[in-house]
Structure 1
């Protein structure tokens, strides 16, 4: 137990080390703990990261771990949402206040059409409003997919390094078996995935799919890679052959930088005009990264076989649209062009920060270290020599340089990739990020005795 005899920085080091060791046994111990608390504590927190080692607002340390927009971006939402809300409220006075009623299960047509048009422009590829289901964000979208479409005695295939909170979500479905698959520089290892599918396949008697592959094909979290066209095509082949579902975490797809162009999402490769089309891919998206996570607003882009099941599930039938009020405000935001302008501004800021970060790493990172230069997104993946430990390096960064990042083993089901770590370019302004990345490079030279 961490007591007050430690300094704030020491507590941060100890707690961070503990966080990075989260695994199945930890979750099991929580579920089995019989020392129940006597009462709840009202901690008066202001945001998700408040009161934790992830507090990106803490002025005493520069946190490059959190993948969230910073205050310079979020404060700009105040004006555009005031305008969009005023616009929507005027409409509602002649619409019988329908916005405050239970909404249609998949979301009102105005917002689904707005999302479809916004994404069609951003993806440079058609998105249809009839394929859209409104959610409160990608995490809820993933939870709905797991609880509605996947056999709970089945399998979830994940990249050997993947989004750490997704792993936490999967672990809570304790009967599902999680299988890590090799990740190459151009995407998931197709041969390895095929071998697992052949070994694990069974016929589900209760749900539409016996297995799910959780994918982040575009600007992968944490590595930043983008899956190649060949890998994407092969994934469609595998999904159809073994009839698994692929749930794509597509929250970064619109954030492409420099000379790069929009990447064709996996959902578009699953072409309904193909003779063997079944509908094996869902695109799970969110406005959290490009407007603001506090909106709790996202979408699922789904094929017909999945939509017919999802829109009749108990969750949607009981409450209707999962975010009806915000849907109306977002419909006005997009109708007025305010959402598009804000997303463009955000993309330009992130692009500037990412290009500056990669430039510093190219010129200052020790030669014994490597980094993957992303084409877009939020994150940069840095690899130290094999015999090093990012958790030990993190403690040095916290103590001596007041810098925080996330060690690679936090993204691994099997606690591997200890010599890697992830930094984010999203929260801090360009000058802060530049200074911090230079300090990380200097700290690496110190840690490696260079």
Structure 2
């Protein structure tokens, strides 16, 4: 049977997803203010570790970031109700991209996923009804959409789960080391903590994670296993929400389930009063250029980014090169000890830079084990000295432990990192490799 991406189908899943998306985004943004996340990551630091090349992207002064997040929260609610949908969603996407690229100290894959999905929704007719836009402008009202609108959302979440599965096939995951470390740090009653740190439980969680990530999308696609898969998703994500406290991500991941069920099922559950006439909606077979010129390149990039670390010299688990944007989620923990030796090129006087005076504890914990953040810290030290009229060399001595293993030297201590470049697409030679 030939698949027709422009076949008109009931658009109830997309409409419902827009509502879920707006609500969860509002919870994320307002919650960041209430829980102190904004304060910890944007108000307390003297500067943030932005993505390399975007160092100019820094927090607003004073309490400006509270306003910034408040605006995002309001925009999220406007997206939820479908008011000026593309304008409000476009602004939300841009502001959230600013948050994502502005700091790496609290890097999280679900921040990246929120940004990507917001971008995808900009190209989808998610305000076609059950929205303020449709009420104010009946011309845009429609109860149908081309079936590819569901396919792109399924494709996005499938990429997330697939690469999350592949990434787990390494020794410390397969032998339960990482899950044991993860649960040993979870607060709770002594009984639960005792169970969570048992070898059998850590192995169960490790392999359950592989099975769930690897099979959930196929199981949701197959009608005979769909309900069982949904129940498994509820158990898996709610368990993660309670034990790992990872914000809205578990509920956001669950919201994608609406695209796997028959649209009529979603409509009967949530939008009974609207009944589409699919046979009268052949005109929705549009968007060919959008599919060809935006979504096709988009998915090529989404498949390429998680694969890039395989083409970079060294083990990504150690080097971190190619780690971000690759769906390597909840996969390892790193701990580092670092010292920055600053040498005045003219006088040859050396001193150690007191970085802990200028960074928050959270920034120190993040920076000391990650090569890109260490390199950025060195560039700041160099710039700071140049402003004082001193040309300096900066040498870094850094010892790192992965998954509480033995400490090993990460950075070549004989390289002047102030004069070294960051390799965007390959291995930086000053990161020490171990075969």
Instruction: Work out which of the two has the higher radius of gyration on C-alpha atoms and give 1 or 2.
Output: 2
> With structure 1 as the length reference, what TM-score do the two structures score?
0.31
TM-score by length of 2: 0.31
